[in-house]
Protein backbone atom coordinates (compact mmCIF):
# COMPACT_ATOMS: atom_id res chain seq x y z
CA UNK A 1 0.00 0.00 0.00
CA UNK A 2 1.13 3.57 -0.70
CA UNK A 3 1.37 4.80 2.85
CA UNK A 4 1.38 8.36 4.15
CA UNK A 5 3.90 9.10 6.88
CA UNK A 6 2.37 10.97 9.78
CA UNK A 7 5.15 13.09 11.30
CA UNK A 8 5.18 14.42 14.85
CA UNK A 9 6.74 17.58 16.27
CA UNK A 10 9.99 15.76 17.18
CA UNK A 11 10.36 14.39 13.66
CA UNK A 12 10.62 17.44 11.44
CA UNK A 13 14.04 17.00 9.80
CA UNK A 14 15.23 15.16 6.68
CA UNK A 15 16.24 12.07 8.67
CA UNK A 16 12.54 11.32 9.22
CA UNK A 17 11.58 11.74 5.58
CA UNK A 18 12.14 8.84 3.17
CA UNK A 19 10.61 10.60 0.17
CA UNK A 20 6.97 9.47 0.30
CA UNK A 21 3.74 11.27 1.17
CA UNK A 22 3.73 13.18 4.45
CA UNK A 23 0.99 14.14 6.86
CA UNK A 24 1.61 16.94 9.33
CA UNK A 25 -0.98 17.99 11.88
CA UNK A 26 -0.97 21.02 14.15
CA UNK A 27 -3.42 20.08 16.92
CA UNK A 28 -4.30 22.96 19.22
CA UNK A 29 -5.47 20.72 22.07
CA UNK A 30 -1.84 19.66 22.66
CA UNK A 31 -1.09 23.15 23.98
CA UNK A 32 -4.01 23.25 26.37
CA UNK A 33 -3.06 20.35 28.65
CA UNK A 34 -0.69 22.01 31.16
CA UNK A 35 0.82 25.50 31.57
CA UNK A 36 3.46 25.93 28.89
CA UNK A 37 6.17 28.51 28.32
CA UNK A 38 5.22 30.92 25.54
CA UNK A 39 8.62 30.49 23.92
CA UNK A 40 8.18 26.72 23.89
CA UNK A 41 4.73 26.89 22.31
CA UNK A 42 6.19 29.35 19.80
CA UNK A 43 9.05 27.01 18.93
CA UNK A 44 6.79 24.00 18.40
CA UNK A 45 4.34 25.92 16.21
CA UNK A 46 7.07 27.67 14.29
CA UNK A 47 8.87 24.37 13.62
CA UNK A 48 5.67 22.67 12.41
CA UNK A 49 4.64 25.59 10.20
CA UNK A 50 8.12 25.96 8.70
CA UNK A 51 8.12 22.24 7.94
CA UNK A 52 4.69 22.55 6.36
CA UNK A 53 5.87 25.39 4.14
CA UNK A 54 8.93 23.46 2.95
CA UNK A 55 7.02 20.24 2.23
CA UNK A 56 5.80 20.85 -1.32
CA UNK A 57 3.10 18.70 -2.94
CA UNK A 58 4.09 15.57 -1.01
CA UNK A 59 2.94 17.12 2.24
CA UNK A 60 -0.58 17.49 3.53
CA UNK A 61 -0.97 19.93 6.42
CA UNK A 62 -3.92 20.33 8.80
CA UNK A 63 -4.50 22.85 11.59
CA UNK A 64 -7.18 21.38 13.85
CA UNK A 65 -8.35 21.15 17.43
CA UNK A 66 -7.56 17.46 17.83
CA UNK A 67 -5.59 14.86 15.80
CA UNK A 68 -8.69 12.69 15.72
CA UNK A 69 -10.37 14.99 13.22
CA UNK A 70 -7.75 14.04 10.64
CA UNK A 71 -6.62 10.51 11.43
CA UNK A 72 -9.70 8.73 12.80
CA UNK A 73 -10.95 7.43 9.45
CA UNK A 74 -7.65 6.78 7.70
CA UNK A 75 -6.13 3.41 7.00
CA UNK A 76 -3.06 4.53 5.02
CA UNK A 77 -0.91 5.86 7.84
CA UNK A 78 2.59 4.91 8.89
CA UNK A 79 4.60 6.49 11.69
CA UNK A 80 8.14 6.45 12.93
CA UNK A 81 7.53 5.35 16.50
CA UNK A 82 6.93 8.61 18.43
CA UNK A 83 8.64 9.74 21.59
CA UNK A 84 6.08 9.37 24.37
CA UNK A 85 3.95 6.58 25.81
CA UNK A 86 0.85 8.62 25.15
CA UNK A 87 1.67 9.16 21.45
CA UNK A 88 2.67 5.52 21.01
CA UNK A 89 -0.68 4.39 22.40
CA UNK A 90 -2.52 6.82 20.12
CA UNK A 91 -0.82 5.78 16.87
CA UNK A 92 -1.45 2.12 17.63
CA UNK A 93 -5.08 2.86 18.45
CA UNK A 94 -5.41 4.54 15.05
CA UNK A 95 -3.99 1.45 13.39
CA UNK A 96 -0.94 3.18 11.91
CA UNK A 97 1.90 1.01 10.62
CA UNK A 98 4.78 1.59 13.08
CA UNK A 99 8.45 1.87 12.06
CA UNK A 100 11.34 1.85 14.57
CA UNK A 101 12.13 5.19 16.23
CA UNK A 102 14.92 7.46 14.97
CA UNK A 103 16.61 10.62 16.16
CA UNK A 104 19.23 9.20 18.50
CA UNK A 105 22.72 7.84 17.92
CA UNK A 106 21.70 4.36 19.08
CA UNK A 107 18.46 2.55 18.32
CA UNK A 108 16.11 0.97 20.84
CA UNK A 109 17.21 -2.44 19.52
CA UNK A 110 20.89 -1.52 20.13
CA UNK A 111 20.07 -0.61 23.71
CA UNK A 112 18.13 -3.84 24.24
CA UNK A 113 21.19 -5.79 23.00
CA UNK A 114 23.45 -3.90 25.36
CA UNK A 115 21.12 -4.50 28.33
CA UNK A 116 20.92 -8.20 27.40
CA UNK A 117 24.71 -8.38 27.48
CA UNK A 118 24.78 -7.00 31.03
CA UNK A 119 23.06 -10.18 32.32
CA UNK A 120 21.31 -8.42 35.18
CA UNK A 121 24.30 -6.33 36.30
CA UNK A 122 23.74 -2.68 37.19
CA UNK A 123 23.23 -0.41 34.18
CA UNK A 124 25.61 2.54 34.25
CA UNK A 125 25.77 5.47 31.85
CA UNK A 126 29.57 5.30 31.81
CA UNK A 127 29.57 1.67 30.59
CA UNK A 128 26.93 2.47 27.98
CA UNK A 129 28.87 5.52 26.79
CA UNK A 130 32.11 3.56 26.35
CA UNK A 131 30.23 0.83 24.50
CA UNK A 132 28.72 3.39 22.10
CA UNK A 133 32.10 5.08 21.57
CA UNK A 134 33.64 1.74 20.58
CA UNK A 135 30.70 0.57 18.49
CA UNK A 136 30.40 3.83 16.58
CA UNK A 137 34.17 4.33 16.38
CA UNK A 138 33.92 7.79 17.91
CA UNK A 139 37.19 9.26 19.20
CA UNK A 140 38.78 5.80 19.14
CA UNK A 141 42.21 4.45 18.16
CA UNK A 142 41.52 0.77 17.69
CA UNK A 143 40.01 -0.41 20.95
CA UNK A 144 41.38 2.50 22.98
CA UNK A 145 40.03 6.00 23.42
CA UNK A 146 41.89 8.72 21.55
CA UNK A 147 44.20 10.53 23.96
CA UNK A 148 44.30 7.52 26.28
CA UNK A 149 41.42 8.50 28.58
CA UNK A 150 37.69 8.00 28.45
CA UNK A 151 37.09 10.99 30.63
CA UNK A 152 38.71 14.42 30.96
CA UNK A 153 36.80 15.68 33.98
CA UNK A 154 40.06 16.63 35.71
CA UNK A 155 40.73 19.20 32.97
CA UNK A 156 37.08 20.18 32.55
CA UNK A 157 34.52 21.67 34.87
CA UNK A 158 36.60 24.61 36.07
CA UNK A 159 35.13 27.53 38.01
CA UNK A 160 34.52 30.65 35.93
CA UNK A 161 37.55 32.89 35.35
CA UNK A 162 38.20 35.03 38.44
CA UNK A 163 36.66 38.50 38.24
CA UNK A 164 34.99 37.81 34.89
CA UNK A 165 31.33 38.62 34.38
CA UNK A 166 31.17 36.70 31.10
CA UNK A 167 33.38 34.33 29.09
CA UNK A 168 34.12 37.02 26.53
CA UNK A 169 32.86 34.90 23.62
CA UNK A 170 30.82 36.47 20.82
CA UNK A 171 27.04 36.27 21.26
CA UNK A 172 25.65 33.01 19.90
CA UNK A 173 23.98 32.77 16.52
CA UNK A 174 20.24 33.00 16.61
CA UNK A 175 17.55 32.95 13.97
CA UNK A 176 16.06 35.86 12.12
CA UNK A 177 12.34 35.67 12.63
CA UNK A 178 10.01 35.68 9.64
CA UNK A 179 6.29 36.02 8.94
CA UNK A 180 5.64 32.53 10.31
CA UNK A 181 6.97 33.61 13.70
CA UNK A 182 4.85 36.74 13.54
CA UNK A 183 1.73 34.71 12.79
CA UNK A 184 2.57 32.21 15.57
CA UNK A 185 2.89 35.02 18.09
CA UNK A 186 -0.48 36.47 17.09
CA UNK A 187 -2.17 33.05 17.28
CA UNK A 188 -0.72 32.34 20.72
CA UNK A 189 -1.89 35.73 22.02
CA UNK A 190 -5.38 35.02 20.72
CA UNK A 191 -5.54 31.47 22.12
CA UNK A 192 -4.32 32.76 25.48
CA UNK A 193 -6.89 35.60 25.51
CA UNK A 194 -9.65 33.15 24.60
CA UNK A 195 -8.62 30.91 27.52
CA UNK A 196 -7.78 27.99 25.25
CA UNK A 197 -4.19 27.67 26.46
CA UNK A 198 -2.27 28.64 29.60
CA UNK A 199 0.99 30.31 28.69
CA UNK A 200 3.72 31.50 31.06
CA UNK A 201 6.98 33.39 30.56
CA UNK A 202 8.01 35.85 27.88
CA UNK A 203 8.13 35.16 24.19
CA UNK A 204 11.07 37.40 23.32
CA UNK A 205 12.96 36.99 20.06
CA UNK A 206 13.15 33.32 19.05
CA UNK A 207 16.59 32.11 20.14
CA UNK A 208 16.57 28.50 18.98
CA UNK A 209 16.79 26.82 15.61
CA UNK A 210 13.62 25.16 14.32
CA UNK A 211 14.51 24.32 10.70
CA UNK A 212 17.34 22.17 9.31
CA UNK A 213 18.99 25.27 7.80
CA UNK A 214 18.82 27.16 11.07
CA UNK A 215 20.14 24.15 12.96
CA UNK A 216 23.15 23.95 10.61
CA UNK A 217 23.87 27.64 11.26
CA UNK A 218 23.60 27.12 15.02
CA UNK A 219 25.88 24.07 14.81
CA UNK A 220 28.49 25.94 12.71
CA UNK A 221 28.50 28.76 15.21
CA UNK A 222 28.92 26.43 18.17
CA UNK A 223 31.71 24.40 16.58
CA UNK A 224 33.65 27.52 15.54
CA UNK A 225 33.10 29.70 18.58
CA UNK A 226 32.18 27.83 21.75
CA UNK A 227 33.20 24.18 21.42
CA UNK A 228 36.87 24.78 22.36
CA UNK A 229 35.73 26.15 25.76
CA UNK A 230 32.88 23.69 26.25
CA UNK A 231 34.60 21.34 28.69
CA UNK A 232 36.50 23.92 30.70
CA UNK A 233 33.38 25.90 31.58
CA UNK A 234 30.79 23.13 31.32
CA UNK A 235 29.78 23.52 34.98
CA UNK A 236 30.41 27.23 35.46
CA UNK A 237 27.84 30.03 35.63
CA UNK A 238 28.18 33.77 35.17
CA UNK A 239 25.38 36.29 35.66
CA UNK A 240 26.11 38.17 32.45
CA UNK A 241 26.57 35.14 30.23
CA UNK A 242 23.39 33.17 29.72
CA UNK A 243 24.84 30.65 27.24
CA UNK A 244 28.40 30.27 28.56
CA UNK A 245 30.05 27.78 26.13
CA UNK A 246 26.93 25.62 25.68
CA UNK A 247 25.64 24.60 22.27
CA UNK A 248 21.92 25.58 22.42
CA UNK A 249 21.28 22.52 20.28
CA UNK A 250 18.86 20.60 22.50
CA UNK A 251 15.87 22.29 20.82
CA UNK A 252 16.78 21.43 17.21
CA UNK A 253 17.85 17.91 18.22
CA UNK A 254 14.64 17.31 20.19
CA UNK A 255 12.55 18.75 17.35
CA UNK A 256 14.33 16.31 15.06
CA UNK A 257 15.57 19.00 12.68
CA UNK A 258 19.20 17.97 13.09
CA UNK A 259 20.57 14.49 13.57
CA UNK A 260 22.58 14.11 16.79
CA UNK A 261 25.03 11.91 14.93
CA UNK A 262 25.82 14.82 12.63
CA UNK A 263 26.37 17.09 15.63
CA UNK A 264 28.77 14.60 17.18
CA UNK A 265 30.63 14.02 13.89
CA UNK A 266 31.18 17.75 13.46
CA UNK A 267 32.65 17.99 16.97
CA UNK A 268 34.95 15.01 16.32
CA UNK A 269 36.04 16.56 13.00
CA UNK A 270 36.93 19.78 14.84
CA UNK A 271 39.19 17.76 17.15
CA UNK A 272 40.77 15.94 14.22
CA UNK A 273 41.43 19.25 12.47
CA UNK A 274 43.13 20.59 15.59
CA UNK A 275 40.43 23.21 16.14
CA UNK A 276 39.26 22.01 19.56
CA UNK A 277 41.05 20.16 22.36
CA UNK A 278 40.21 16.58 23.24
CA UNK A 279 38.79 17.49 26.65
CA UNK A 280 36.23 19.82 25.07
CA UNK A 281 35.25 17.41 22.34
CA UNK A 282 35.10 14.34 24.58
CA UNK A 283 33.02 16.32 27.10
CA UNK A 284 30.59 17.34 24.38
CA UNK A 285 30.37 13.92 22.70
CA UNK A 286 29.64 12.43 26.14
CA UNK A 287 26.64 14.76 26.53
CA UNK A 288 25.07 13.48 23.35
CA UNK A 289 25.99 9.83 22.80
CA UNK A 290 26.22 9.38 26.56
CA UNK A 291 23.64 11.43 28.41
CA UNK A 292 21.12 12.19 25.68
CA UNK A 293 20.84 8.65 24.36
CA UNK A 294 20.96 7.26 27.89
CA UNK A 295 18.04 9.40 29.10
CA UNK A 296 16.04 8.41 26.02
CA UNK A 297 16.57 4.69 26.55
CA UNK A 298 15.91 4.96 30.29
CA UNK A 299 12.53 6.53 29.56
CA UNK A 300 11.40 3.27 27.98
CA UNK A 301 13.47 0.98 30.17
CA UNK A 302 12.14 2.41 33.45
CA UNK A 303 8.53 2.28 32.31
CA UNK A 304 5.58 4.62 32.17
CA UNK A 305 4.89 4.48 35.91
CA UNK A 306 8.43 5.47 36.86
CA UNK A 307 7.60 9.14 37.54
CA UNK A 308 4.37 8.56 39.46
CA UNK A 309 5.67 5.55 41.39
CA UNK A 310 8.94 6.96 42.71
CA UNK A 311 9.19 9.24 45.70
CA UNK A 312 11.50 7.42 48.09
CA UNK A 313 12.47 10.58 49.97
CA UNK A 314 8.79 11.31 50.66
CA UNK A 315 9.01 14.78 49.14
CA UNK A 316 5.50 16.20 49.35
CA UNK A 317 5.79 20.01 49.10
CA UNK A 318 3.85 21.43 46.15
CA UNK A 319 5.78 23.29 43.47
CA UNK A 320 5.30 26.92 44.54
CA UNK A 321 3.27 29.38 42.46
CA UNK A 322 6.42 31.47 42.06
CA UNK A 323 7.88 28.67 39.93
CA UNK A 324 4.69 27.92 38.04
CA UNK A 325 4.37 31.64 37.23
CA UNK A 326 8.12 32.08 36.64
CA UNK A 327 8.02 34.97 39.09
CA UNK A 328 11.76 35.62 39.49
CA UNK A 329 11.13 38.54 41.85
CA UNK A 330 9.67 36.18 44.42
CA UNK A 331 13.20 34.81 44.92
CA UNK A 332 15.67 36.82 47.00
CA UNK A 333 18.50 34.34 46.54
CA UNK A 334 20.61 35.64 43.67
CA UNK A 335 21.15 32.19 42.16
CA UNK A 336 17.44 31.35 42.11
CA UNK A 337 16.37 34.83 41.05
CA UNK A 338 18.76 34.89 38.11
CA UNK A 339 18.03 31.32 37.00
CA UNK A 340 14.25 31.72 37.19
CA UNK A 341 14.55 35.06 35.34
CA UNK A 342 16.47 33.26 32.58
CA UNK A 343 13.75 30.61 32.32
CA UNK A 344 11.08 33.32 32.30
CA UNK A 345 12.85 35.25 29.53
CA UNK A 346 14.00 32.36 27.33
CA UNK A 347 12.52 29.07 28.57
CA UNK A 348 16.08 27.83 28.88
CA UNK A 349 18.83 27.55 31.48
CA UNK A 350 22.04 25.61 31.16
CA UNK A 351 22.62 22.23 32.74
CA UNK A 352 24.17 23.39 36.00
CA UNK A 353 21.45 25.95 36.58
CA UNK A 354 18.89 23.18 36.04
CA UNK A 355 20.66 20.64 38.24
CA UNK A 356 22.49 22.58 40.93
CA UNK A 357 20.19 25.59 41.33
CA UNK A 358 16.62 24.61 40.39
CA UNK A 359 16.90 20.86 40.95
CA UNK A 360 18.95 21.32 44.10
CA UNK A 361 16.38 23.79 45.45
CA UNK A 362 13.59 21.28 44.75
CA UNK A 363 15.52 18.49 46.45
CA UNK A 364 16.45 20.50 49.55
CA UNK A 365 12.90 21.86 49.92
CA UNK A 366 11.24 18.48 49.33
CA UNK A 367 9.21 19.48 46.27
CA UNK A 368 6.99 16.71 44.94
CA UNK A 369 9.04 15.03 42.15
CA UNK A 370 6.19 14.23 39.75
CA UNK A 371 4.87 17.78 39.94
CA UNK A 372 8.37 19.15 39.52
CA UNK A 373 8.76 16.98 36.41
CA UNK A 374 5.59 18.50 35.02
CA UNK A 375 6.88 21.98 35.81
CA UNK A 376 10.22 21.41 34.08
CA UNK A 377 8.48 19.92 31.03
CA UNK A 378 6.24 22.93 30.54
CA UNK A 379 8.74 25.64 31.48
CA UNK A 380 11.65 24.61 29.25
CA UNK A 381 11.78 25.06 25.48
CA UNK A 382 13.51 21.68 25.12
CA UNK A 383 11.26 19.86 27.63
CA UNK A 384 9.83 16.60 26.27
CA UNK A 385 8.11 13.71 28.06
CA UNK A 386 11.06 11.38 27.38
CA UNK A 387 13.83 13.64 28.63
CA UNK A 388 12.38 14.65 31.99
CA UNK A 389 11.72 11.55 34.11
CA UNK A 390 15.30 10.30 34.43
CA UNK A 391 16.69 13.85 34.60
CA UNK A 392 14.27 15.15 37.22
CA UNK A 393 12.95 12.18 39.20
CA UNK A 394 16.20 10.23 38.93
CA UNK A 395 19.15 12.54 38.58
CA UNK A 396 18.05 15.74 40.25
CA UNK A 397 15.56 14.57 42.93
CA UNK A 398 16.98 11.12 43.74
CA UNK A 399 13.35 10.05 44.06
CA UNK A 400 14.06 6.60 42.60
CA UNK A 401 16.43 5.69 45.43
CA UNK A 402 19.50 5.44 43.20
CA UNK A 403 18.50 3.85 39.89
CA UNK A 404 19.74 6.77 37.78
CA UNK A 405 22.26 8.44 40.11
CA UNK A 406 24.19 6.74 42.88
CA UNK A 407 23.88 9.75 45.21
CA UNK A 408 21.64 12.82 45.44
CA UNK A 409 22.86 15.97 43.72
CA UNK A 410 22.40 17.95 46.93
CA UNK A 411 24.81 20.74 47.69
CA UNK A 412 25.19 23.77 49.90
CA UNK A 413 26.07 27.32 48.92
CA UNK A 414 29.82 26.59 48.82
CA UNK A 415 29.45 24.72 45.51
CA UNK A 416 27.39 27.51 43.94
CA UNK A 417 29.86 30.08 45.29
CA UNK A 418 32.81 28.22 43.74
CA UNK A 419 31.18 27.69 40.34
CA UNK A 420 29.41 31.03 39.82
CA UNK A 421 29.52 34.75 40.55
CA UNK A 422 26.10 34.66 42.20
CA UNK A 423 27.01 34.80 45.87
CA UNK A 424 28.96 38.08 45.91
CA UNK A 425 25.85 40.17 45.33
CA UNK A 426 23.42 38.00 47.29
CA UNK A 427 21.60 39.06 50.46
CA UNK A 428 22.45 35.63 51.87
CA UNK A 429 25.91 34.43 52.86
CA UNK A 430 26.98 31.03 51.51
CA UNK A 431 29.10 30.42 54.62
CA UNK A 432 26.25 31.00 57.07
CA UNK A 433 23.81 28.33 58.12
CA UNK A 434 22.06 30.19 60.93
CA UNK A 435 20.64 33.70 61.07
CA UNK A 436 18.85 36.23 58.88
CA UNK A 437 21.42 35.91 56.12
CA UNK A 438 21.89 32.14 56.34
CA UNK A 439 22.13 30.78 52.79
CA UNK A 440 19.05 28.70 51.93
CA UNK A 441 21.28 26.21 50.13
CA UNK A 442 23.86 25.87 52.91
CA UNK A 443 21.28 25.63 55.70
CA UNK A 444 18.92 23.71 53.42
CA UNK A 445 21.62 21.14 52.72
CA UNK A 446 22.04 20.27 56.42
CA UNK A 447 18.33 20.23 56.97
CA UNK A 448 17.94 17.91 53.94
CA UNK A 449 20.54 15.53 55.37
CA UNK A 450 18.74 15.58 58.71
CA UNK A 451 15.41 14.81 57.06
CA UNK A 452 16.75 11.96 54.92
CA UNK A 453 19.23 10.43 57.36
CA UNK A 454 17.35 7.18 57.88
CA UNK A 455 16.97 6.65 54.16
CA UNK A 456 20.41 7.73 52.92
CA UNK A 457 22.92 7.28 55.74
CA UNK A 458 23.94 3.81 54.53
CA UNK A 459 24.77 5.04 51.03
CA UNK A 460 28.59 4.70 50.88
CA UNK A 461 28.84 7.92 48.86
CA UNK A 462 26.96 9.83 51.58
CA UNK A 463 28.94 8.58 54.59
CA UNK A 464 31.16 11.65 54.78
CA UNK A 465 28.19 14.00 54.51
CA UNK A 466 26.40 12.27 57.39
CA UNK A 467 29.55 12.22 59.49
CA UNK A 468 29.63 16.01 58.99
CA UNK A 469 25.98 16.27 60.00
CA UNK A 470 26.59 14.36 63.21
CA UNK A 471 29.40 16.76 64.13
CA UNK A 472 27.25 19.84 63.51
CA UNK A 473 27.04 21.76 66.79
CA UNK A 474 23.91 23.69 65.81
CA UNK A 475 22.09 20.91 63.98
CA UNK A 476 18.78 21.36 65.79
CA UNK A 477 18.84 25.11 65.37
CA UNK A 478 19.48 24.83 61.61
CA UNK A 479 16.73 22.26 61.15
CA UNK A 480 14.25 24.34 63.14
CA UNK A 481 15.17 27.48 61.18
CA UNK A 482 14.71 25.73 57.84
CA UNK A 483 11.39 24.26 58.88
CA UNK A 484 10.02 27.80 59.06
CA UNK A 485 11.93 29.33 56.16
CA UNK A 486 9.75 31.24 53.75
CA UNK A 487 12.37 33.40 52.01
CA UNK A 488 14.82 32.11 49.47
Ligand X SMILES: Cc1cc2nc3c(=O)[nH]c(=O)nc-3n(C[C@H](O)[C@H](O)[C@H](O)COP(=O)(O)OP(=O)(O)OC[C@H]3O[C@@H](n4cnc5c(N)ncnc54)[C@H](O)[C@@H]3O)c2cc1C
- Give residues in contact with ligand SF4 (CB under 6 A): 333-335, 413, 416-417, 422-423, 426, 428-430, 439-441
| 238 is a site residue for ligand X (CB under 6 A) | no
Rounded to a whole number of angstroms, the minimum distance from the CB of residue 468 to ligand X is 25
Site for ligand X in 405-424 (CB under 6 A): none
For residue 342, the minimal CB distance to ligand SF4 (Å) is: 14
Q: Among residues 251, 177, 188, which one has the least CA distance to residue 218?
A: 251
Q: Does position 156 bind ligand X by CB under 6 A?
A: no
Based on the shown chain and the rule CB under 6 A, indicate whether residue 380 belongs to the binding site for ligand X.
yes
Of residues 244-283, which lie at the interface with ligand X (CB under 6 A)?
Answer: 246-250, 253-254
**Residues of this chain, 346-375, that bind ligand X according to CB under 6 A:** 350-351, 354-355, 359
Picked from ligand SF4, ligand X, none, the partner binding residue 232 (CB below 5 to 8 A depending on kind) is: none
Dist CA 469 CA 366 (whole Å): 18
* Min separation Cβ 124 and ligand X, Å: 14
CA distance 388 to 385: 6
Q: Alpha-carbon distance 373 to 379, whole Å?
A: 10
Q: What angle do CA 390, 395, 397 make, to 5 degrees?
A: 105
Nearer CB in complex with ligand X: 8/67: 8
Q: What span, in angstroms and rounded, lies between the C-alpha atoms of 97 and 439?
A: 55
**Do residues 8 and 83 make contact, with C-beta atoms less than 8 angstroms apart?**
yes
**Torsion (CA) 86, 92, 94, 96 in degrees, nearest 10:** 120
Residue among 381 and 423 whose Cβ is closer to ligand X: 381
Q: Which is nearer to ligand X, 385 or 430 (CB)?
A: 385
104 binds ligand X (CB under 6 A): no
For ligand X, which stretch binds (CB under 6 A), given 153-161, 377-385, 423-431, 435-443? 377-385
Residues linked to residue 24 through DSSP beta bridges, in sequence order: 7, 61
- Give the integer Cα–Cα distance in Å for 174 and 257: 15
Least spacing, CB of residue 350 vs ligand SF4, in Å: 16
Strand order in the sheet with 21-27: 59-64, 21-27, 4-7, 77-80, 97-99
How many CA atoms lie less than 13 Å away from 367 in the CB half-sphere?
Answer: 25
Dist CA 415 CA 236 (whole Å): 10
Choose the one of ligand SF4, ligand X, none that binds residue 197, judging by a C-beta under 5 to 8 angstroms depending on kind: none
248 binds, among ligand X, ligand SF4, none (CB under 5 to 8 A by kind): ligand X
Binding site for ligand X (CB under 6 A): 246-250, 253-254, 287-288, 291-292, 295, 350-351, 354-355, 359, 376, 380, 382-383, 387-388, 391-392, 395-396
Amino acid sequence: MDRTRWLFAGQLGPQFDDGGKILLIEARSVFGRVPMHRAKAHIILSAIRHRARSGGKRLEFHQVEDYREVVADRDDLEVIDPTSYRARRAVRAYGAHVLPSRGFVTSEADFADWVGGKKGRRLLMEDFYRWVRGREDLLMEGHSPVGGDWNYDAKNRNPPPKGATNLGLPAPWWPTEDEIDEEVRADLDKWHQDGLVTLVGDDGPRRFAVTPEEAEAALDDFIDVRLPDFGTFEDATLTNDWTMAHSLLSVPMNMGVIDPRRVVDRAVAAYEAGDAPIEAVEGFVRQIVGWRDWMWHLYWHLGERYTAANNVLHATEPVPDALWELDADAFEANCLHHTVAGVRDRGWAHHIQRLMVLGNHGLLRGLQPAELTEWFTGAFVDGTPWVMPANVVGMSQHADGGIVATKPYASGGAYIDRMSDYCGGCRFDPKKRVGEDACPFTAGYWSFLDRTERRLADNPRMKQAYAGLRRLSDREEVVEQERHRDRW
